Structure 1
Amino acid sequence: MPTVLWWGRGDKNYSRNRTIARLFGELGWGCEYFYPAVGSELGLIQAYFAKLKKPDLIWLPCFRQRDMASAIHFGKKWNVPVVSDPLTSSYQKQVYERGKFSADSRRAQRLLKWEAGLFKQADLIVLENSAYADFVRDEMDVPEDKLGVLYNGAYTKFFTPQPPPEPGPPFEVGFVGSFQPSMGTDVIVKAARLCQDLPVKWTLIGEGDDKPEAEQLAKGLNNIEFTGWVKYETLPERMGNMHILLGIFGVTRKTDFVIPNKIFEAMAVARPLITQQAAAYADNLGQSPVVGWVERGNEQALADKVREWIAEPQDLPERGLKTRELFDRYFGDDKMRDMLRIILDRVLPGGTKK
């Protein structure tokens, strides 16, 4: 049995990490874990004292760029490939998502040089879709042959197709996620304001920095409700009670190359989905008419799509089933296993034993 060594302080229960670990197991791999100290220098020292066994592959989980230098050192020492699955570029997050500093600032350029240098030393950088891979290639000058793609998918043993609610009023349109600029929760609130004449309740589940602003924007509306996070074990059923689920509608650059978990989970529970058009869907969902595509940042387009679908409620259950079919085709377990198998064969020919 080949062995992968997870190198990094990443949370094993984080959705993407958990999914990938499961896929490794399904492909016949054993998983070992090494949690280095806070920084790569201390982690390197710790690794020598830990007497680690040589694996067949080193895998860096999400957000662990700080652990890459020590992992790369041991990859060279052992002559085994190092694959990093950052999920989010630190440079992209600080510059384009948080707007902490401008792209041409010294701090941004230092961060770019540091991160790009690490990416170029790894054997492969895994991104969540081809649009994100294009961003890393173009913005960070990482060679294309060092980039791979593995979608996020969903925990399909948990997010299963849910019985549809009655296709009649009152209807519920739901958002589940974090309140941050890329989500466009302000667009959702504005769309709800445009739909006050409809028998629709708009429910926004989650927390985040932008929530107070969204709540302030919703003052005076009686067709919108904000709740905190619901218990994870109840989430599929809660999503299943909604007639329509929403994706993201923000206008930040990040929204063009990210497919958030809420998209996969909404599709997995077999609910009609409305979200904005983005380059991230170019090689998967594309322009499938099953999805309710709207222009980013456009509350009128979102309101019009909800109005259109609610006007034909008898079609909502069938649309939900077709949405799940799309999920299985592009993001289901078989597809995910194939994508990981391709990644492993690129860095370690014959590495997939099953």
Structure 2
Amino acid sequence: MGILIDGLRANGCEVTEINHPLELSTAQRVEILKKPWKLFGFGWNLLGLWHALRRDARAWMRRNGRPDAVLVGYMGHFDVLLAHHVFHGVPIVLDHLIFAGDTAKDRGAQGLKVKLLNRLDRMAIGAATLTVLDTEEHRRMCRPGDETMVIPVGAPREWYTAGDAEAEAVSSGEATRSRDIVFYGLYTPLQGVPVIARAAKELASRGLTPHFTLIGKGQDYDEVRTIAAGLDNVEFREWVEPEDLPALVASHAISLGIFSTTPKGLHVVPNKVYQSMAAGCAVITSDTAPQRRMLGDGVTYVKPGDAVWLADAIEELLADDERLHAAQQSAEETAKAFTAQRITRQLADWVRRAAASAAGRR
């Protein structure tokens, strides 16, 4: 959401934020989509926040008139319903990065639960004028009559800043060029972190023990710890403050994307890939259609779910300094296409057209 706001502003749009946060992490929000009955535990709090949002939105319109468009952030399955009601007749843009039903299914849900969450997705998309999605594969999950737009996830400014700072430190001799490997994420099935652990084990069997930093915790965490047991070169960090993460990732030579074979894993280009490229890391990720389409030659691809292939890719990069440096440069160059300003140009144009159309009706 933040990168869309930054990009719209950079493209000349005036954006006012009306926000009363639910104070839930992304992991907790995903858990609610997987287990929607947990929403009742936050019900009164949610209703109170909606009341505040409605109050502030109406106060804003009394002062400023109707906005040209309203942007509802991702995980906004319920918020878009409120926006549709409060801003009646105003174009609503829904940043729909996560399909509730698809996410729940990826995490093991099935049957009626998935059907209900698919219904929630349809309600959310139906309440929006324009649905923003991150890949063509996700666009195809919408219906032909839905107005949609594909916008890559991209990377916020701080990731580019961290990459520039690390490169400058290495150039000036303040830091040595790293040969370490990093992964960060929620350990969800689509990320395929067990594949990373098996690749580290495969490399160790070859006598190669590069340092791995695995950041995060989630569904596959215990399995990964079991696979990596006895590997002294694998460091687990369950939490890193978000403001510290860009610099930490930028200090590594290689950053790892996703490697699962789940249907959802074949539909996405994860934010960690865009961010890691912006940070100047060489990136290795799974060879999937959306990642090939978006990233081109900016990353190194491996077969989804194949730990040996991943181990081979890591070994090849670390065995050749020139090849590693070239991979880092390719990632950095590719990342230039995914700044906030660039990825939101078409959305800013859409908002301007909506504004012109509304003015013509008045």
| Range of TM-score over shorter length | 0.7 to 0.9
Structure 1 residue 50, shift from structure 2 partner? 6.4
**Quick one: which of 121, 129, 133 aligns to 1:127?**
133
How many angstroms does 1:319 deviate by?
2.1
User: 2:259 touches 2:305 (CA, 8 Å); kept in 1?
Assistant: yes
Q: Is the 8 A contact 2:151 2:344 kept in 1?
A: no
- Structure 1 gaps, min length 5: 1-16
Q: Which runs of 5+ in 2 are unaligned?
A: 22-43
With normalisation by structure 2, the TM-score equals 0.79
Alpha-carbon distance between aligned partners in 1 of 2:49 and 2:254, rounded to the nearest angstrom: 48
Is this contact kept in 2: 1:120–1:143, CA < 8 A? no
Q: Kindly tell me: are residues 173 and 42 of structure 1, through their superposed partners in 2, closer, same or farther at Cα, counting changes over 3 Å?
A: closer
Selected match of 1:337 from 321, 325, 344: 344
Distance 2:303 2:347 in 1: 32
**1:248 Cα offset (Å):** 0.7
Ranked by relative contact order (alpha carbons within 8 Å, sequence separation 6 or more), the top structure is 2
- What's the counterpart of residue 236 of structure 1? 246
Residue equivalent to 2:119 = 113
Matches within 5 A, 1:15-164: 17-26=1-10, 27-35=12-20, 43=50, 47=54, 51-52=58-59, 53=61, 54-76=66-88, 79-95=89-105, 97-101=106-110, 105-134=111-140, 136-137=141-142, 141=143, 143-144=145-146, 146-160=147-161, 161=163, 162-163=166-167
Structure 2 Cα separation of the partners of residues 155 and 49 of structure 1: 28
- Residue correspondence of structure 1 range 135-214 to structure 2 within 5 A: 136-137=141-142, 141=143, 143-144=145-146, 146-160=147-161, 161=163, 162-163=166-167, 166=176, 171-196=179-204, 197-214=207-224
Matched, 1:306 2:291: no
Equivalent residue letter for 1:248: I
- Cα distance in 2 between the residues matched to 1:109 and 1:272: 40
Aligned length: 319
Matched, 1:325 2:327: no
Corresponding residue of 1:13: none
For residue 226 of structure 1, give the secondary structure of its aligned residue in structure 2.
strand
* Aligned residues of 1:81 and 1:348 also touching (Cα < 8 A): no
Distance, in Å, in 1 between the alignment partners of 2:308 and 2:53 is 55
CA contact (8 A) 1:40 1:68 kept: no
Deviations 1:17-54 (A, max 9, x none): 22122223222313131549766899479726963313
Question: Which residue type is aligned with residue 155 of structure 1?
Answer: P
Following superposition, the deviation at residue 321 of structure 1 comes to: 1.8
Does structure 2 retain, via aligned residues, the 8 Å contact 1:191–1:302? Answer: yes
Structure 2 CA distance for aligned equivalents of residues 46 and 127 of structure 1 = 25
Out of 252, 269, 283, the position equivalent to 2:279 is: 269
Following the alignment from structure 1 to structure 2, what is the Cα–Cα distance between the partners of residues 44 and 254?
Answer: 35
Deviations 1:172-222 (A, max 9, x none): 121122211111110000001111112412221122232122111111222
Q: Is the 8 A contact 1:130 1:283 kept in 2?
A: no
1:39 and 1:67 in contact (8 A); partners too: no
- Give the conservation status (yes or no) of the 8 Å contact 2:213–2:236: yes
Contact in 1 for aligned 2:277/2:283 (Cα 8 Å): yes
Give 1:335's aligned amino acid: R
Q: Which amino acid counterpart does residue 70 of structure 1 have in structure 2?
A: L
Alpha-carbon deviation of 1:72? 1.4
Percent of aligned pairs sharing the same letter: 26
Residue from 265, 268, 271 that aligns with 1:258: 268
Q: Is the 8 A contact 2:182 2:252 kept in 1?
A: yes
Instruction: Say if 1:323 and 1:50 are closer, same or farther in 2 by CA, change over 3 A.
Output: closer
State how far apart, in whole Å, the 2-side matches of 1:35 and 1:225 are. Answer: 37
Q: Give the partner amino acid of 1:344.
A: V
1:216 aligned residue: 226
Greater CA deviation, 39-48 or 233-242?
Answer: 39-48
Q: CA deviation at 1:348?
A: 4.2
**What is the aligned partner in structure 2 of residue 9 from structure 1?**
none
Alignment partners' CA distance in 2, 1:60 and 1:244: 34
Q: State the alpha-carbon separation in 2 of the partners of residues 224 and 193 from structure 1.
A: 10
SS in 2 for 1:293: strand
C-alpha RMSD over aligned residues:
2.7
> Distance in 1 between the 2:352 and 2:56 partners?
31
Q: CA deviation at 1:247?
A: 0.5
Pairwise CA distance, 1:94: 1.5
Q: What is residue 316 of structure 1 aligned with on the other side? A: 324
Shift in Å, 1:125: 0.7
